[in-house]
Amino acid sequence: KRMVEEDAYCPDILIQVSAANAALNSFNKVLLSNHIRTCVVHDIKADKEETVDDLISTLKKILK
């Protein structure tokens, strides 16, 4: 927002947005991995099969 307000060069803004997106994607990968290793595994061991459906639904939303 600041870069736009300061009339920065458009390609520089696009590069910064791309870097921010990459950082968020990296964080999502770590969070998803942790979720699968903890919550999903725990629920599957507890015979909560609906957790797999929830995981699939979440993956569909984040991978569109």
Q: What is the pLDDT of residue 35?
A: 97
User: If pLDDT is split at 50, 70 and 90, which confidence band does 64 have?
Assistant: confident
Q: What is the pLDDT of residue 37?
A: 97
pLDDT in tens, 18-58: 999 999 999 999 999 999 999 999 999 999 999 999 999 99
| 3-state SS track over 12-60 | HHHHHHHHHHHHHHHHHHHHHHHHHHHHHHHHHHCCCCHHHHHHHHHHH
12: nearest Cα among 1, 20, 3: 3
